[in-house]
């Protein structure tokens, strides 16, 4: 016999379970069109951007061709996770090509040769295995199962291009009007906005800046808000800074390189003014590069000493600064701007701030490119054309429901197309005061100054500062206390010991560190890593002892 109470309970359970399905928003349910082509895109971008671009591209493509299209988004995590996946897929598919079509043996030597392929080897006169495999891959149509790579750092895209994974697009030839000084220039503040061969194009601009919680800072009794990179290293923010590990985040590494380049520029301008010349000699320029590099590392050292933690997630600093768990952090502009605007819209609060350090960096392109062996290369080219078009660029920075703006949520990203910054569009934009082209001359990126240092900087910061954070932080705290106690001589002497970075000078890095890191001897690399960490740990312990007055 049925128990009425049990029936009622069962009904309520079913009702609760079914409510999300009853009231879910039907517009968010994307039903693939069976007879339409499917474009497969790998991206680290969030769901908001993926959704808005899917809606916008389908509408644009339908108007242009009269056809429908499906988009299959692939989200592998961060840029480095995506890179590993891509390389694995290319290696697997090239193996099939090598064995099944060329009837060659696949062994450890071939695996190593394929992993080290590079466009530079196409110019080599000798015909060893590495050169042979490079030539074979570059003339093949071997794919990775994905059409487009959308988003990430320029470094990753240049690496993918060098390996032959990204192919040139005919957009440069077919649409020269899209790539001019009045639309999308080739350079901005010294940064290249597209590959010269058309293997990747900047789809938007990304800057780096400081996030802070104004209410939490005032509650701590700190009388200023951070406005420059130097401010984050001040003692008022000791153990209050959210830091992302630069070895796990290409955007953080790029931000720190901007900081270093600013220090180099300060040294350059200072020496130029003292010598009363318009341009430094090559010898003097090399000198200021080395001096600026050390000054930049010392500032990073202070910031790391102020770190409350070190995370792999580029979004965690935003969450913790918003909550007041940390007072300050470093992030990319679209995270900072978006959270600041969203908080104001949700609650009316303006406690969460994002600021671009004055003359502290240049915007970098957020690239997009077509993979070798793409199943739908023409469709992929159309997608890139849409991204760079006026219609695609409006989605980045127009407010919700404005003419040509997004349908579901604002993205608050920085367009790369100059036309968007015309006064006629200011009324529709989320951030009408932001114009990266207007302030381009404040900071000129000199990639040639840091090209040899960029790849190794993150590892050095981790080994010398992050892996030794307990000792570094303790030394900094003792130095701060010594200054408060009036023991200025002890504090200064201790800081000189703590900040002695001669082992990380450019000369030593070029001569003794890069050759080992670039080598294939894992044991030598591990020994050098341990040597660097032990050296700095011992150095920080000595600095603390001096600051404590025990030496």
Where on the phi/psi map is residue 482: left (φ > 0), alpha (ψ -120 to 50), or beta? Answer: alpha
Q: Token match 């030597």: residue?
A: 109
Q: Could you tell me which CATH number the domain at 79-205+365-428 has?
A: 3.40.190
pLDDT of residue 23: 40
pLDDT of residue 431: 85
Domains of the chain, by residue range, sit at: 79-205+365-428, 208-361, 467-551
pLDDT of residue 436: 92
pLDDT of residue 28: 43
Task: Tell me how crowded residue 512 is: count the other CB atoms within 10 A of its CB.
Answer: 11
d(CA 507, CA 148): 40
d(CA 415, CA 481): 46
pLDDT of residue 346: 83
Structure tokens at 530: 């341990």
End-to-end CA distance of the chain: 88
H helix runs in 66-197, sequence order: 79-96, 108-115, 129-138, 154-162, 171-174
d(CA 137, CA 93): 11
In tens digits, the chain (551 residues) has pLDDT values of 456 555 555 555 555 545 444 444 344 445 566 679 999 999 988 888 999 999 999 999 999 999 999 999 998 766 667 888 999 999 999 999 999 999 999 999 999 999 999 999 998 887 789 999 999 999 999 999 999 999 888 888 999 999 999 999 999 999 999 999 999 999 999 999 999 999 999 999 998 899 999 999 999 999 999 999 999 999 999 999 999 999 888 788 889 999 999 999 999 999 999 999 999 999 999 999 999 999 999 999 999 999 999 988 888 999 999 999 999 999 988 888 888 877 887 888 999 999 989 888 888 999 999 999 999 999 999 999 999 999 999 999 999 989 999 998 888 899 999 999 999 999 999 889 889 998 888 888 898 999 899 889 999 999 999 999 999 999 999 999 999 999 999 999 999 999 999 999 999 999 999 999 988 799 999 999 999 999 999 999 999 999 999 87
| CB within 8 Å of 293: residues ≥ 6 apart | 260, 263, 264, 450, 453, 505, 506
Q: Which of 133, 136, 85 is nearest to 112 (CA)?
A: 133
The answer regarding whether domain 208-361 maps to CATH 3.40.190.10 reads yes
Q: Measuring CA to CA, how many Å separate 429 from each of 57, 309, 341, 420?
A: 20, 36, 13, 9
pLDDT of residue 3: 62
Dihedral sign from CA coordinates of 449, 298, 499, 487:
positive
The whole-model pTM stands at: 0.82
85 φ, ψ (degrees, to nearest 5): -65, -45
Q: What's the alpha-carbon Rg for the chain, to the nearest Å? A: 26
Asked whether the domain spanning 208-361 has the same topology as the one spanning 79-205+365-428, the reply is yes
pLDDT of residue 91: 97
The pairing of strands 328-332 and 241-244 is parallel
Q: Which of 395, 427, 391 is nearest to 413 (CA)?
A: 395
| CB within 8 Å of 153: residues ≥ 6 apart | 79, 250, 251, 254, 364
125 φ, ψ (degrees, to nearest 5): -75, -30
Q: Which of 314, 353, 356 is nearest to 331 (CA)?
A: 314
pLDDT of residue 26: 42
Contact 205, 364 (CB under 8 A): yes
DSSP state at residue 429 = B
pLDDT of residue 6: 55
């Amino acid at each position: 016999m049925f128990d009425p109470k049990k029936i009622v309970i069962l009904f309520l359970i079913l009702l609760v379970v079914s409510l999300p399905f009853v009231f879910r928003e039907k517009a968010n349910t994307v039903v693939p069109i069976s007879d339409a082509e499917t474009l497969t895109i790998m991206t680290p971008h969030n769901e908001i951007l993926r959704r808005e671009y899917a809606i916008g591209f389908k509408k644009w493509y339908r108007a242009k061709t009269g056809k429908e299209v499906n988009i299959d988004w692939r989200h592998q995590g961060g840029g480095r996770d995506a890179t590993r996946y891509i390389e694995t897929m290319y290696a697997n598919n090239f193996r099939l090509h090598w064995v099944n079509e060329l009837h060659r043996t696949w062994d450890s030597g071939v695996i190593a040769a394929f992993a080290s392929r590079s466009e530079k080897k196409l110019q080599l006169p000798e015909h060893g295995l590495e050169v042979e495999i490079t030539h074979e891959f570059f003339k093949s149509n071997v794919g990775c199962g994905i059409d487009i790579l959308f988003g990430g750092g320029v470094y990753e895209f240049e690496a993918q291009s060098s390996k032959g994974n990204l192919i040139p697009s005919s957009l440069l030839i077919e649409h020269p009007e899209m790539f001019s000084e009045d639309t999308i220039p080739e350079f901005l503040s010294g940064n290249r906005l597209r590959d010269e061969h058309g293997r990747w194009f900047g789809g938007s601009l990304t800057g780096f800046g400081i996030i802070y919680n104004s209410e939490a800072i005032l509650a701590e009794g700190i009388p200023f808000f951070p406005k420059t990179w130097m401010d984050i290293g001040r003692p008022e923010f000791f153990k209050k800074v959210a830091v992302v590990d630069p070895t796990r985040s290409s955007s953080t590494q790029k931000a720190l390189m901007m900081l270093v380049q600013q220090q180099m520029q300060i040294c350059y301008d200072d020496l130029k003014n003292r010598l009363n010349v318009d341009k430094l000699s090559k010898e003097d320029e090399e000198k200021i590069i080395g001096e600026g590099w050390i000054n930049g590392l010392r500032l990073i050292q202070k910031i790391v000493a102020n770190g409350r933690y070190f995370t792999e997630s580029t979004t965690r600093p935003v969450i913790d600064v918003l909550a007041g768990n940390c007072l300050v952090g470093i992030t990319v502009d679209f995270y900072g701007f978006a959270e600041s605007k969203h908080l104001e819209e949700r609650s009316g609060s303006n406690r969460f701030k994002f600021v671009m350090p004055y003359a502290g960096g240049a915007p970098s392109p957020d690239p997009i490119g077509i993979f070798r062996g793409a199943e739908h290369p023409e469709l992929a080219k159309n997608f890139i054309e849409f991204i760079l078009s006026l219609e695609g660029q409006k989605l980045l920075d127009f407010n919700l429901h404005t003419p040509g703006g997004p349908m579901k949520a604002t993205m608050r990203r920085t367009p790369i197309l100059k036309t968007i910054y015309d006064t006629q569009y200011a009324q529709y934009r989320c951030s009408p005061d932001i114009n990266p082209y207007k302030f381009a001359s404040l900071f000129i990126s000199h990639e040639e100054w840091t090209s040899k240092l960029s790849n190794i900087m993150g590892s050095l910061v981790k080994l010398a500062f992050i892996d030794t954070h307990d000792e570094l932080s303790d030394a900094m705290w003792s130095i701060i206390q010594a200054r408060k106690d009036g023991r200025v001589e002890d504090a200064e002497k201790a800081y000189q010991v703590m900040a002695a970075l001669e082992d990380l000078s450019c000369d030593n890095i070029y001569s003794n560190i890069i050759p080992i890191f670039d080598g294939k001897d894992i044991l030598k690399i591990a020994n050098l890593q341990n040597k660097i960490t032990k050296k700095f740990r011992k150095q920080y312990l000595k600095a603390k002892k001096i600051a404590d007055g025990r030496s």
